[in-house]
Chains A and B, each alone.
Chain A
């Protein structure tokens, strides 16, 4: 018999088979088992549904209550508004009635106004004609005086005739610009303003330093803060040894306490290099020298340095947008790494090299900083600052224990932060 046939035969025989006879011990066993199992009450099966239903009911009640509250309040407000409108309508009706009554009355005050106008106008015209007459007389007298000067024949009058300009314009007489009361009355304020054009030359250029400072002081409020990326090119001078030009980059912050004084601080990174070849008297202080390789002829020292300056800057205003700058301060130096390369002369012709690296970070006492520079506000309101600086070492620095001096040129591009 095939498997499928066998399977289907078995299935057909047993699928709906029911065991015969009930065993009461089975039920007793069930009771015993059920006694050990705590069956949850029926409502526990609907716990989630009950919770959701309760929450839903509560929400509905809350909405209904809030609606009722809102509606009742709205009704009160509406009632008040209706009452107010009714009052307004009544007032309007009262005013309309009054207007009708006033219209129907005889206008007995008009005559009075007419008389007033007429009297005023007559007096005004009389005064105006007197002023005009006097002005004409004055003008005639002045023109007569000018004519007498022409007879003398001075140089100015010759030039005046060549220009063919009206006399009153060239001589700049005050009466020529006199305006009659009528014309003043007719011109607007704007028209008057046109008679006094603003001088195109900026008055700011002619302001004194004190005035500029006062203006800046006036507009200065509290502490201003500027930040700037900084680039500097500097040369180190060492004793003994020769430095080279090294590039520094960093970020500075300027805390401006007043228009003249500010405190500048930040961090600059430099990789400095110098070599000692002439005077190697200090070689004893350098680590890693191996005399067996030959006679030491040159030492190259590379230092990875972080400089943290704190400078007080003084600004001397040249104009509203430019200042001379002088600075005085102090810098601390953090040496993170130093590489010392030794060149040894061997047998007069051959040379050998060895290197010694110091990866230990160390802080050195630093330098006294002096700075002179110039800054100018650009069109985009940023400030470009250029300065030359001098840094005098205050103590021995680096593994080589020299007192360096740095001279350099610095550029900063300041952004206003606060």
Chain B
């Protein structure tokens, strides 16, 4: 569903005035996109929904801060990422499944990523420990610098770099395993 700019502004005005129907409509309109962002930052779909809802509440209460003319999607994405960071900070103390294994795995060809669907890659990212997942997403997908990541997550730049390297290595391992599994399933199935 593609919404035109004028309709979007009307919808935003209505949402700003607290119209529940309009808010629902906006939610449904951008749910898929918001979930696409938040799934990468969460371990499960439920967690992602929680982050998405937190993000939408922020959107509804801060709609007046949105500057017309700029991309609403970009603004929404930024809010979702910030919600994910807040969620991580809030639940950081509960994350105790830190995996410190540092086995080096390397994907030797582009074919592995090509053969995997987006959902598979997201599932692989979700399997990363939370701190690695956060650093990987922020650095690789959002384009944050290590200094910014360190500030956002209250860690040092060195930790951020280290986490990224480990996350990358682990993700590659998971993706290779996933691809191998898929091949096996295909062979057995074929």
Residues of A within 8 A of B (CB): 1, 3, 5-7, 9-11, 13-23, 25-27, 29-30, 33-34, 37, 39-42, 45-46
Contact = CB atoms under 8 A, between A and B. Distances in A.
Contact of B113 (A10, A18, A19, A34): A10
Given A1-B108, A1-B110, A29 B53 contact: yes
B18 A17 contact: no
Contacts of B17: 41-42
B27 A18 contact: no
Given A14-B122, A17-B36, A33-B54, 19 more contacts: A1-B107, A1-B109, A7-B168, A9-B110, A10-B141, A11-B141, A13-B118, A14-B121, A17-B118, A18-B33, A19-B39, A20-B32, A22-B28, A26-B49, A27-B27, A29-B53, A30-B56, A34-B60, A45-B64
B120 to A, nearest CB: 10
Given A26-B31, A29-B49, A46 B64 contact: yes
Contacts of B33: 18
Contact of A33 (B35, B53, B108): B53
A22 B53 contact: no
Interface centre among A1, A19, A42 (most CB of B within 10 A): A19
A4 to B, nearest CB: 10
A16 B142 CA distance: 11
Given A1-B106, A10-B141, A14-B118, A33 B18 contact: no
Contact of A15 (B54, B113, B141): B141
A184 to B, nearest CB: 100
A44 to B, nearest CB: 10
Contacts of A21: 32
A267 B172 CA distance: 92
B57 A37 contact: yes
Contacts of B45: 23
A41 to B, nearest CB: 7
A37 B33 CA distance: 24
Nearest to A3: B168
Contacts of B60: 34, 39
Nearest to A8: B140
B71 interface: no
B53 A6 contact: no
B190 to A, nearest CB: 26
Interface in B145-190: 168, 171-172
Nearest to B169: A3
B35 A18 contact: yes
Contacts of B36: 14, 16-19
A368 B24 CA distance: 102
A413 B139 CA distance: 84
A7 B139 CA distance: 9
B16 A17 contact: no
B53 A30 contact: yes
Contact of B121 (A10, A20, A41): A10
B174 to A, nearest CB: 12
B61 interface: yes
Contacts of B168: 3, 6-7
Contact of B61 (A9, A22, A39): A39
B40 interface: yes
A13 to B, nearest CB: 6
Interface in B79-119: 106-110, 113, 118
Contact of A6 (B39, B49, B56, B107): B107
6 contacts: A14-B121, A14-B141, A19-B36, A20-B32, A22-B32, A26-B53
Contacts of A40: 61
Given A10-B140, A11-B141, A14-B40, A42 B18 contact: yes
Interface centre among A1, A26, A37 (most CB of B within 10 A): A26
A16 B76 CA distance: 13
A15 B172 CA distance: 18
Contacts of B110: 1, 5, 9
A14 B60 CA distance: 26
Interface centre among A17, A29, A41 (most CB of B within 10 A): A17
A6 B105 CA distance: 12
A21 B61 CA distance: 26
A39 B18 contact: yes
B134 interface: no
The 5 closest A-B pairs by CB, nearest first: A19-B35, A18-B32, A17-B36, A45-B64, A26-B49
Nearest to B62: A45
A9 B113 contact: yes
A27 B16 CA distance: 18
Contacts of A11: 140-141
Contacts of B171: 10
A27 B118 contact: no
A17 B57 contact: no
A187 B121 CA distance: 126
B52 interface: yes
Contacts of A6: 107, 113, 168, 172
Nearest to A19: B35
A19 B36 CA distance: 5
A16 B108 CA distance: 25
Nearest to B139: A7
Nearest to B65: A45
Contacts of B121: 10, 13-14
B44 to A, nearest CB: 13
A19 to B, nearest CB: 4
